[in-house]
Amino acid sequence: MTISIWRYSHLALAVSSFVFIFLASVTGIVLAFQPISEQIQPYKSDGFDTVSLAETLSVFNKAYPEVTTLEIDTNDFVSASVISENDKNLNGYFNPITAEFLGKKIESSKVFQFATTLHRSLFLKGVGRFFMGLCSFLLFLIAVSGAVLILKRQRSIKKFFAKIVNDNFAQYWHVVLGRLSLIPIIIITVTGVYLSLLKFNLLPESNMSQSINYEAITERPKQDIAAFAVFKNIKLTDVKSVEFPFSSDVADFYTIYLKDKKIVVNQFTGEVLSEINYPLVTLLSTLSLNLHTGKGSIIWSLVLAFASINILFFIYSGFAMTLKRQKAKLRNKLKKHKCEYIVLVGSENGSTIPFANAFYKQLLKAGKTAYITELNKYQTFKKAKHIIVFTATYGEGEPPTNANTFLQQLKNTEQLQPLSFSVVGFGSYAYPDFCQFALDVDRGFTAQHAHQFLPPFKINDRSLEAFNQWVSSFNTASGLALHIPQKKLVAPPKRTKALQVVRKTEVKTNPDNTFIVTLKPAKNLRFNSGDLLAVYPENDYRERLYSIGKVAGNIQLSVKHYANGFGSNYLNSLQQNTVFKARVINNAAFHFPEKATRVLLIANGTGIAPFVGMLHENTSKIDTHLYYGLREQESLIVYKYDLDVVLKNKQLHQIHLAFSRVGNTKYVQNLLQNDAVFVAETLQNNGVIMLCGSLAMQKGVLETLNAICETQNQKPLRYYQEKKQLKMDCY
Ligand SMILES: Cc1cc2nc3c(=O)[nH]c(=O)nc-3n(C[C@H](O)[C@H](O)[C@H](O)COP(=O)(O)O)c2cc1C
């Protein structure tokens, strides 16, 4: 079954039952505190866990002329109904070792009584009970379909509890809390259904009739109850209740209800007259009741309260997500076969849609005929000349649901006019396959011999800045002057954390105008070398990203100062001890490998920053070589201390430098070419190459690496790239 069918089922079940589920959860939270309020009462006696039934019955018989019943509840409180020496009727809790009266039975409070009736039957008796039973069953189905959705999202059972990325508050917590409360919710719902079936007599009848041979009952040999072997062998902890003989007639006896069976015992001789194991239905009923109500366990009651609170949160977050998806509906003004521009959208959770919609509206405003639809609705558009795709990526580089058949459809669909296309990917650096589906779409169009109007463009984390950058390229290429209103797309910086400047080097002292900023997170902050730091110089949507090196628990950035640099001027203006807010972006695809036969780090300029951190973190001393391109020897001064440390500690094996401004101009690719055999061997033996620095350097290095691979290993670089042996973060 596809993910959308599971999602619709999950949603439909939730919509159809949410009022009942809401009431059941609210009352469930209240009722979870009933067992807790009972358990904290002082009626559990010391020694309860070790006393035998013989001892308890013996002291009761001695203390009171008449005892009718004795019960042990789930809180291990012993209650009884007795008549005392002075003919007083005593009903309440007793000490099972001394038979002392401890207090009257706990009356359920009005709040709990009200909540119980509402929870069980909505004050509607049988009809209400039926609906609440049904609601339990529907909640069970919701939990199962939710679990399937998590499985589909995580791609395997093994990864069910794997870390997930916090992309959106409602969605993140819906999944995280859903996983945590799945088992309790399944238990609550299954037991709820069971108790309803029991109430409506829909479970098989249990036959508990006993057969006693009354003729054979004798009063001899008479024994004191304290000496009854059967009672001596029963611990009070195993007893649920005791019915005392009605009179001293030999045909009246003790009936003992244990946890798993009922026994009947001769009141004079202690002989067991009958013994019947409870049927499964009875055992399951007790278990269901205890599990459903939390009776007898404070911890389980708290788990039930937690699960019930979560259900309320699921109602809120589920509807918040649905609303967001609904808001993101695509609406058209023109008929599809009349439009030259077709905007196609791939989106799972709707956040790509406002971008696509804004672009589509601007096309209309610019007087173009435009049509917007989902990628899966791709077909022959009679007048189409330009296709613009905006798509997210999911799973492991896979399409969102509304784009999952697109690549196939693309192959099978012919357009009537020559087509130009542009693809914009929305994704997140937090995933190794950053915007992979957008790249696949771009390749798909190329394979159809369509004209690539703009190269594929990848946007991290819905960056408005990056989007504007793409729109501006589109304007330049098309001659249009689209201007996207920022209002609906602008979001204030999210999830920022306070960072304190602990050190900043001077720009003046460095020939490359580069400075290093060391930042200390105010609170515990999880990050790795290779992650990115988003800085917000004006505290608005505009962000600047810097690659992070983690050194001694601090964030270390290497920044090139530009006279008009938005980000670099801001960072350079920060004084020591200043605290400011920025956001760490997990860049999973660019972390130092945990295991590798060898690692080659290739950088130029400020691209060394993450590598300095990674080398410090290379505690397992993986054979690591650094190829670094810089202007002149002095450019190295700011990194010298750190590099000396890692060289000395064998966390860095060798460093190869290429100076571009002194002597024979050299670039890192020249160094690689010199070590061609070594580089080829590294890839051949499953080593990893990491690249960080300028895009110009990336281009040169990739060409060289490809040539080395082709000549030395007879394989293209792409082969190793697909095996994830090449990691890049260039800008
Ligand atoms: C479960 C999940 C998996 C994701 N997988 C990827 C991925 O493999 N590559 C990527 O670049 N982004 C990935 N993302 C990020 C989304 O593509 C990104 O947040 C996008 O902006 C969501 O757009 P939408 O709200 O329109 O669906 C993933 C997000 C989630 C929630």
Closest approach atom of ligand 1 to CA 461: 21
My answer on whether 615 and 567 are in the same domain is no
431 C-alpha to ligand 1 centroid (Å): 8
Which residue(s) pair with 514 in the sheet? 560
Flag whether 36 is in a domain. yes
My answer on whether 661 and 719 are in the same domain is yes
Closest approach atom of ligand 1 to CA 351: 25
My answer on whether 366 and 463 are in the same domain is yes
460 C-alpha to ligand 1 centroid (Å): 10
CA dihedral 597, 599, 600, 606 (to 10 degrees): 180
At 491 the pLDDT is: 67
Flag whether 491 is in a domain. no
My answer on whether 340 and 196 are in the same domain is no
723 C-alpha to ligand 1 centroid (Å): 22
My answer on whether 66 and 190 are in the same domain is no
> Which amino acid is residue 309, in one-letter code?
I
For the chain, how many residues are written? 731
Flag whether 296 is in a domain. yes
Distances (CA, A) of 662 to 507, 509, 634, 659: 21, 18, 11, 6
The Cα–Cα gap between 79 and 76 comes to: 9
Look at the block and give the residue holding tokens 């989007």: 467
My answer on whether 119 and 196 are in the same domain is yes
Closest residue CA from atom 22 of ligand 1: 392
Q: Which of 528, 563, 589 is the last residue of a domain?
A: 589
What is the total count of domains within the chain?
Answer: 5
My answer on whether 687 and 585 are in the same domain is no
Pocket of ligand 1 (CB under 6 A): 153, 167, 347-352, 392-397, 400, 426-428, 431, 433-436, 462
Look at the block and give the residue holding tokens 């905006």: 390
Flag whether 215 is in a domain. no
Flag whether 486 is in a domain. no
Flag whether 82 is in a domain. yes
At 207 the pLDDT is: 72
Look at the block and give the residue holding tokens 């949410």: 18
CATH number reported for the structural domain that contains residue 675 in this entry: 3.40.50.80
My answer on whether 245 and 193 are in the same domain is no
My answer on whether 268 and 309 are in the same domain is no
What interface predicted TM-score (ipTM) does this complex get?
0.99
Count CB-CB contacts under 10 A for residue 527. Answer: 19
Flag whether 85 is in a domain. yes
Flag whether 184 is in a domain. yes
427 C-alpha to ligand 1 centroid (Å): 5
> Which amino acid is residue 216, in one-letter code?
A
My answer on whether 9 and 136 are in the same domain is yes
The Cα–Cα gap between 171 and 489 comes to: 19
My answer on whether 137 and 196 are in the same domain is yes
Helix (H) or strand (E) holding 266: strand 261-266
Give the residues of the chain that fall short of pLDDT 50: none
Domain with 186, as residue range(s), is: 3-40+110-204+292-322
Closest residue CA from atom 5 of ligand 1: 394
Q: Which of 546, 571, 589 is the last residue of a domain?
A: 589
Q: Counting runs of H as helices and runs of E as strands, what totals does the chain give?
A: 19, 26
392 C-alpha to ligand 1 centroid (Å): 6
The Cα–Cα gap between 48 and 51 comes to: 6
CATH number reported for the structural domain that contains residue 571 in this entry: 2.40.30.10
Look at the block and give the residue holding tokens 């589909």: 152
The string of DSSP letters for 221-274 reads S---GGG-HHHHT-BGGGEEEEEPPSSSSTT-EEEEEESSEEEEEETTT--EEE
My answer on whether 270 and 143 are in the same domain is no
Q: Which of 532, 560, 589 is the last residue of a domain?
A: 589
